[in-house]
Structure 1
């Protein structure tokens, strides 16, 4: 990864966060909590940005349709996040597998 890639990544992240800041306050709060949860659970493909961008797209559509954020997600935001990740491999899964496996069989 060269310096240009890092600069481009920062530009994309700033543009993404500008979209988040344009959302209503209740959407911003829920997005930030979802972001914390997803960073903690660690889906392997999170770094490509598709998941977080998709969430912002979904939220923007909800704002346009006049729905509250909990109308879109339901009352259990963590369960919504788990549903997003149900078929996705996470770093937590890899860690769990390494704990249950034989010594020296942890994945890289």
Structure 2
């Protein structure tokens, strides 16, 4: 990643956050909680630009323009809403689990091979 990419990324992020700041207060609170949730859960696509988060802001802007409360848009279970958005996305936890299983399988194969030779 070059310096231009970093600068462009920062500009995109600032523009994105400026959109969030003009949302009604209840939307801002829920957006920030979803954002924190995603940073903890770690969907891989989150590091590939702001498309996922921008989509949420788009949805929230529409809801606010229609005069809806944020929970009318997301439903009462905001974590379930967030999970649904990334249900088909690979997370860093998934990658770690796959890696751990591969290591276990390699180790078990070595043990099995030693037993069959011995």
Is TM > 0.5 for Structure 1 vs Structure 2? yes
Matched, 1:21 2:48: no
Question: How many angstroms apart in 1 are the aligned matches of 2:105 and 2:27?
Answer: 44
Residues paired across the two proteins, number: 105
Q: Which has the higher helix share?
A: 2
Q: How large is the Cα RMSD of the aligned pairs?
A: 1.5
Equivalent positions of 1:1-108 (< 5 A) are 1-47=1-47, 48-103=49-104
CA distance in 2, matches of 1:37, 1:66: 26
Mark the structure with the bigger radius of gyration: 2
What runs of 5+ residues in structure 1 fail to find an aligned partner?
A: none
Between the aligned partners of 2:60 and 2:5, the Cα distance in structure 1 is 28
Cα deviation for residue 95 of structure 1 reads: 1.6
TM-score norm. by structure 2 comes to 0.83
Question: Partners of 1:4 and 1:77 in 2: how far apart?
Answer: 36
- Once residues 105 and 43 of structure 2 are traced to their aligned partners in structure 1, the CA distance between those partners, rounded to angstroms, is 23
TM-score by length of 1: 0.90
